[in-house]
Structure 1
Amino acid sequence: MPAAVAVLTAGLLAFHRAVPNTPGRVGSLLEAFLPRLGLVVPVLLVVALLRRSAVALVAVLLPVAAWTYLFGGLLMPGPEPGRHELVVVQHNVSDENTDPAGTARALAEAGPDLIGLQELLPQALPLYEETFAPDYPYHAVRGTVGLWSKYPLTEARLLDIKPQEITEPWSRGLRAVVHTPHGEIAAYVAHLPSIRIGATGLASSRRDESAALLGDAIAAEQRETLVLLGDLNGTVEDRGLAPLTSQLNVAERGFAFSFPAAFPVTRIDLVMARSATVSHIRTLPATGSDHLPVAALITLR
C-alpha cells in the first residue's frame, strides 16, 4: 500500500497537467496545492520503515525525485543584491483590516521601491496615502487596487478585467508606467475574482475569465519590461493562470506561502515579470489582513 501511494503521488506531481479539469476543475484544485503533496513523503517514509518494506522505501524515492524536480530550486538561497534591481511588495490588505495605518507602516519598513495593494476601501484610503506619503510620494488608485512608488508614475489607467457575469461596479485592475533609475517599466496591479471549493469541486470560471482578460492586456503592452503584482487567487502551477504564466516569469527562489495568514498553505499573492527576473520572493510579517505580504526582488535586464 505505501508503495502504491508513493507511485500515485509521484504521478500526480509529474503529470499534474494530465489530470482533467472537468468535472469540477479537479486539475486546478490539485495544482493549487501541488507543492504540499511533498508532505506525503515523510508519512510514507515512516510507514515504510515501520513495515520494514524495501519496496516501499525505494518507491518513496519517486515522489521525492518528482517534487525536487518541480520545486527544489525554490529552496535555494536568494541572490546577493546587485545592480539594476527593484524590490516590490504585494499585499491584499483586506477590506476587514482594522489597522490600515499600521499595515502601511509595516509595508514601508520593508523599504520596497513599489507597493501594490488590493481591497482598498474608500474610508481607509486616506490613511494609506498619509502613511505612505513621506517615502512614496507617487501613487495611483483605481477602484480597490493601488500602486505606491518611490519613482514618478505616469499613464495610470483602469484595466478592464471584469467578468461578464459581474454586473455591479467592479474595478480591480490598474496599469501605470514607473520611471525608475533603470528605465521605464509598465506596472500592473490586479485582484482576480475569488475561487470557492465546494461539493462540486473548484468554482473558478470567473477567476479564469478575468485572468484571460488580464493576459490580453499584458500581451498588448508595448513597453518591453513589465511587472505584475496581484492577488490572483491561484498559484503559478494552476492552469487557470496560464494566460499569465505563459507570458511572464515567476519567482525562481522562495515559496512565500501567503494565505491564509494564520496558517499559510498556498501562495496566491504573486509577483511576475516580463523582460526581468523575479529572483526571490519571501513573506513579510503578518498585518491586520488575512493575507501575508510578500516581497520580491526583481532583477532588470
Structure 2
Amino acid sequence: MIAGLAAVTAGLLAFHRTVPNSVGRVGSLLESFLPWLGLVVVALLGLALLRRSATALVALLLPVAAWTYLFGGLVLPGDGPGTRDLVVVQHNVSDENPDPAGTARALADARPDLIALQELVPGALPVYERTLAARYPYHAVRGTVGLWSRYPLTGARLLDIRPRGVTDAWNRGLRTVVRTPYGDVAAFVAHLPSVRVRASGLESSLRDESAGLLGEAVAAEDLRTVILLGDLNGTVDDRGLAPITSRMNAAERGFAFSFPAAFPLARIDQVMARSATVVRIRALPATGSDHLPVAARIALG
C-alpha cells in the first residue's frame, strides 16, 4: 500500500499537467499546493521505516526524485548580489489594514529599490504617500495599485486587465517605465481577481481571464526588460497563470509562501521578469495585512 501511494504521489508531481481542469478546476487546485506533496512523501517515509519495508523505501525514490526536480532548486542558496541588481518588494497591503503607516515603514526598512502595493484605498493612500516620500520620491498610482521607486518613473498608465464579467469600477493594473541606472525597465503592477475554493472545486474563471489579458500586455510590451509585481491570486505552478508564466520567469530560489499571513500555504504574491532573472524571493515579517510581503532580487541582463 505504501509503495502504491508513493507511485501515485510521484505521478501527481511529475504529471500534474495531465490532471483535468474541466470539472472544478481540479488541476489548478492541485497545482496551487503542489509543493506540499512533499509532506506526503515524508509521512510515507515514516510509515515505511516503521514497517521496515524495503519495497516501500525503494518506491519512495520516485516521489523524492520528482519533488527534487520540481522544487529542489528553490531551497538552494542563491548567488551573491550583483552589480546590476534591483531589489523589489511586493505587498497586498489589504483594504482593511489598521496600520498603513507602520506597514509602509516596515516595507521601506527592507531597503528595496521598488515597492509595489495593491488594495490601496482612498483613506490610506495619503498615508503611504507621506510615509514613503522621503526614501521613494517617485511613485505612480492607478486605481488600487501603485509603485514607489528610488528611480524616476515615466509613462505611467492604466493597464486594462478587467474581465468582461466585471462591470463596476475596477482598476487593478499599472504600467510604467523605471529609469534605472542600468537602463529603462517596464514595470507592471497587477492585482488579479480572487479565487474561491468551493465544494464544487476551484472558482477561478475571472482570475484566468484577467491573467490572459495581463499576458497579452506583457507580450505587447516594446521594452525588452519587463518586471511584474503583483498579487496574482495563484502560484507559478497553477496553469491558470500560464499566459503570464509562459512569457516570464519566476524566482530561482525561495518558496516565500505569502498567504494567508497567519499560516502561509502558498505564494500568490509574485515577482516575475522578462529578459532579467529573479534570483531569489523571500517572505518578510507580517504587517497589518492578511498577506505577507515578499522581497526579491532581480538581476538585470
State the TM bucket, normalised to the shorter chain.
Answer: over 0.9
Report the 3-state secondary structure (helix = DSSP H, G, I; strand = E; otherwise coil) of the residue aligned with 1:187: strand
Counterpart of 1:298 in structure 2 is: 298
Deviations 1:44-63 (A, max 9, x none): 01111111211111111111
Q: Distance between the aligned counterparts of 1:121 and 1:214, measured in 2?
A: 22
Counterpart of 1:268 in structure 2 is: 268
Q: Distance between the aligned counterparts of 2:31 and 2:18, measured in 1?
A: 11
Report the 3-state secondary structure (helix = DSSP H, G, I; strand = E; otherwise coil) of the residue aligned with 2:60: helix
Counterpart of 2:282 in structure 1 is: 282
Counterpart of 1:211 in structure 2 is: 211
Counterpart of 1:71 in structure 2 is: 71
Q: Distance between the aligned counterparts of 1:272 and 1:42, measured in 2?
A: 30
Matches within 5 A, 1:153-232: 153-232=153-232
Q: Distance between the aligned counterparts of 2:149 and 2:262, measured in 1?
A: 29
Q: Distance between the aligned counterparts of 1:46 and 1:188, measured in 2?
A: 45
Task: For residue 138 of structure 1, report the CA deviation from its aligned partner.
Answer: 0.3
Counterpart of 1:126 in structure 2 is: 126
Report the 3-state secondary structure (helix = DSSP H, G, I; strand = E; otherwise coil) of the residue aligned with 1:189: strand
Counterpart of 1:31 in structure 2 is: 31
Q: Give the partner amino acid of 1:50.
A: L
Report the 3-state secondary structure (helix = DSSP H, G, I; strand = E; otherwise coil) of the residue aligned with 2:251: coil
1:148 is the counterpart of 2:148: yes
Note the aligned Cα RMSD (angstroms): 0.5
TM-score (norm 1): 0.99
- Between Structure 1 and Structure 2, how many residues are aligned? 301
Q: Distance between the aligned counterparts of 1:95 and 1:183, measured in 2?
A: 34
Report the 3-state secondary structure (helix = DSSP H, G, I; strand = E; otherwise coil) of the residue aligned with 1:263: coil
- Which runs of 5 or more residues in structure 1 are unaligned? none
Task: For residue 37 of structure 1, report the CA deviation from its aligned partner.
Answer: 0.6
Report the 3-state secondary structure (helix = DSSP H, G, I; strand = E; otherwise coil) of the residue aligned with 1:251: coil
Q: Distance between the aligned counterparts of 2:292 and 2:79, measured in 1?
A: 22
Q: Distance between the aligned counterparts of 2:265 and 2:109, measured in 1?
A: 25
Q: Distance between the aligned counterparts of 2:296 and 2:246, measured in 1?
A: 20
Task: For residue 22 of structure 1, report the CA deviation from its aligned partner.
Answer: 1.2
Q: Percent identity?
A: 74
Q: Distance between the aligned counterparts of 1:172 and 1:81, measured in 2?
A: 32
Task: For residue 147 of structure 1, report the CA deviation from its aligned partner.
Answer: 0.3
Q: Distance between the aligned counterparts of 1:88 and 1:78, measured in 2?
A: 16
Task: For residue 5 of structure 1, report the CA deviation from its aligned partner.
Answer: 0.8
Matches within 5 A, 1:241-260: 241-260=241-260
Q: Distance between the aligned counterparts of 1:266 and 1:249, measured in 2?
A: 18
